[in-house]
Amino acid sequence: MSISRRSFVKWAASLSTLAVSGPAGATLVPLFRDAHGGPSGPGEIPAFHPELLPSQKEVWASLEWMAKLGPKYTGNPAHTEFVNWLATQLQSSGLHVERDHYSFPRWDAKRWEITVAGQPAGAAKIPVTSYFPYSGQTPGAGVSGELVYAGANPDFKLDALQGKIVVIDFAIKPRDFATMYKPWGIYPAEAKFPAEIRPARGAVNDLAQFQKAGALAVILVWTDVSDANAADQYTPFYLPLQNIPGLYVGRDAGARLKALCGTGAKATVVLEVQTTPDTPTDTLIATLPGTSSDEVIVVNTHTDGPNATEENGGVAIVALAKYFSRIPIAERTRTLVFPLTTGHFAIPWVPSIRGFVEKHPETIKKAVAALTIEHLGCMEWLDNASLQYRPTGEIEWSVAVSETKGVADILVDALQGSGDRRTGVVNPVHGGWIGEGSALAHAGIPTIGYIPQPNYLLAGPANGCIEKLNSDLLYSQIQVFAKVIHTMDQTSAAELKGGTNS
């Protein structure tokens, strides 16, 4: 992304007229005024103007449309349609949009099932909760072999697996927030930030060991979550091809299969896959100029994911881009750069945000702050003591990660009075950087990585988990981000760098 200074000034000037046109073409007077009615003076932080945001109804309609596309796995038709929609929305608001092109071997599961032979009523279908992404594939008739139990993670028994269908157990791995994070601030202050969370994620990250042992397929058993929680989980999503088919089953189905292991019972596993070599997929980089091209604020997300939660950051970025494009350029100091990256769900082949960092060193050098937006509007759903998957009625905890006190304090301040009432702004003191903000932080940019982590984050049902999201919360979060960007724009680079938590 390279724009000459002369082109930048000309382009910025051309947008100044566009920037004062609000919703429905209404003409806006200067937005920020001092006590005497004149324009606000240098150094004053502009007030947030909620009337310039797209309406809550408009934002939610965009999210519902996105959910109806279905899972947006990297490079599939739904993902491509979403990326093109984002580009059109950003361009229509006057932003300059470029694309970084990638290609990779796309893997799409088309049919999956488990059948056990020799049952009293004949062959029996075993309920499958989901498949292991990029695991492997079978012919249409599947692969058949004797069932054998290889134990539980991590102490798998890898002997005597040749030609067998392997059944393995695993328990989900808690995330130790008490060790990973040290809070800069909690909102509201009286809330108790969780010491750990137990996300429904597959805890087995290596099927190749079973392939090397000669197994035909692997059946993974969820042992400590409900079947409803395990349903449609696309996990893990960051591995290269494993070259052996893998399917997940729930606790009761797993118990049934384990009881058959060692009895000579045989099973047939089917995982039909369509592979598409050299599938194209694009990262978008949208730019909205300020009065200066010498410093930029990066506001980013990724665009691929299985549902309306992972990833809906693009919908929020469209709303924020429209909002800031409606503010006169004279009152936007720094240039805003919005990378919307592809490849989060195809990391072995497509570098996602790391690709942006590597391809655009001039932007990284100019960046004084970054705000990463992921997984908005989430309500909390948990398994209860009886392993019934239910809404708790609470907002899902939001984790906002930052190593830099300067930008962390900005978010803590912006949260006050908002509806985002379960947020921990935290320092990743022990391995706590996750998500699309990490590469920006590691590049030396003071970064906030906002990343709620609900149990359904990786689930890919047909409706996109839209019933688990809340429009009021989503819109409140977007308002908070607008305030954060305003304050970042009016805060010196030295103050944004701030200090580290001690």
Length of the chain: 502
SS3 string of 180-206? HCEEEEEECCCCCCCCCECCCCCCCCC
- CATH code at 426? 3.40.630.10
Evaluate whether residue 9 is within a structural domain. Answer: no
How many other CB atoms sit within 10 Å of the CB of residue 35? 6
For 98-122, give one letter per residue: b (16+ CB within 10 A) or e.
bebebebbbbebeebebbbeeeeee
Q: Is there a domain that residue 217 lies in?
A: yes
In this predicted structure, what is the pLDDT of residue 120? 64
Give the model's pLDDT for residue 254: 97
Tokens of 160: 């005597």
As a whole number of angstroms, the distance between CA 53 and CA 326 comes to: 9
Q: Are residues 454 and 398 in the same domain?
A: yes
Domain boundary among 256, 274, 292: 274
> How many Å apart are CA 487 and CA 113, to the nearest integer?
53
pTM across the whole model: 0.89
Candidates 342, 298, 303; CA nearest to 444 is 298
What are the φ/ψ torsions at residue 28 (nearest 5 degrees)? -105, 140
Could you tell me which of 68, 85, 100 has the C-alpha nearest to residue 280? 100
Residue 43 lies in a domain: no
Domain membership flag for residue 12: no
Backbone phi, psi, residue 295, to 5°: -130, 140
Identify the three-state secondary structure at position 216: coil
Has residue 51 been placed in a domain?
no
Token digits of residue 427: 């320092």
Q: Residue 196: CB partners within 8 Å, gap ≥ 6?
A: 174, 175, 176, 177, 178
| Counted domains in the chain | 2
Residue with tokens 């010196």: 492
Is 117 found in the same domain as 69? no
Residues 159 and 215 in one domain: yes
For residue 87, how many C-alpha atoms fall within 13 Å in the half-sphere facing its CB? Answer: 16
Out of 220, 249, 274, pick the residue that ends a domain.
Answer: 274
Q: Tokens at residue 424, please?
A: 């921990």
d(CA 213, CA 148): 13
156 and 75 in a common domain: no
What are the CA-CA distances from residue 226 to residues 52, 137, 411, 452 (Å)?
44, 26, 35, 21
How do the pLDDT tens digits run along the chain, 502 residues long? 444 444 444 444 444 333 333 333 332 323 223 332 333 333 334 578 999 999 999 999 999 999 999 999 999 999 999 999 999 999 999 999 999 999 999 999 999 999 999 766 667 999 999 999 999 999 999 999 999 999 999 999 999 999 999 999 999 999 999 999 999 999 999 999 999 999 988 899 999 999 999 999 999 999 999 999 999 999 999 999 999 999 999 999 999 999 999 999 999 999 999 999 999 999 999 999 999 999 999 999 999 999 999 999 999 999 999 999 999 998 899 999 999 999 999 999 999 999 999 999 999 999 999 999 999 999 999 999 999 999 999 999 999 999 999 999 999 999 999 999 999 999 999 888 989 999 999 999 999 999 999 999 999 999 999 999 999 999 999 999 999 999 999 999 999 998 765 4
What would the 3-class secondary structure string for 401-433 be?
ECCCHHHHHHHHHHHCCCCCCCEEEEECCCCCC
136 and 84 fall within a common domain: no
pLDDT value, residue 448: 98
Q: Tell me if 330 is assigned to some domain.
A: yes
Q: Residue 43, by phi and psi: left (phi above 0), alpha (psi -120 to 50) or beta?
A: left
446-467: string of b/e by CB count within 10 Å (b at 16+)? bbbbbbbbbbbbbbbbeebbbe
48 located within any domain: no
164 within domain boundaries? yes
**Cβ–Cβ contacts within 10 Å for residue 288, how many?**
27
- CATH number of the domain bearing residue 159: 3.50.30.30
Same domain, 269 and 320: no
Question: Do 80 and 151 fall into the same domain?
Answer: no
Range of the domain at 250: 106-177+197-274
Q: Is the peptide bond before 46 cis (omega within 30 degrees of 0)?
A: no
Q: What are the Cα distances from residue 176, in Å, to 86, 168, 180?
A: 36, 25, 6
Q: Are residues 64 and 120 in the same domain?
A: no
Domain boundary among 274, 305, 339: 274
Per-residue model confidence (pLDDT) at position 83: 98
Residues 415 and 484 reside in one and the same domain: yes
Amino acid 48: pLDDT? 87
Q: Do 213 and 80 belong to one domain?
A: no
Tally of CB atoms within 10 A around 135? 25
**Is 111 in the same domain as 97?**
no
| DSSP conformational letter for 175 | B
What is the CB-side half-sphere exposure of residue 358 using CA atoms within 13 A?
9
140: CB partners within 8 A, 6+ apart = 111, 270, 272
pLDDT tens profile 181-234: 999 999 999 999 999 999 988 899 999 999 999 999 999 999 999 999 999 999
Cβ atoms 336, 288 nearer than 8 A = yes
Examine the domain organization and report whether 336 and 482 are in the same domain: yes
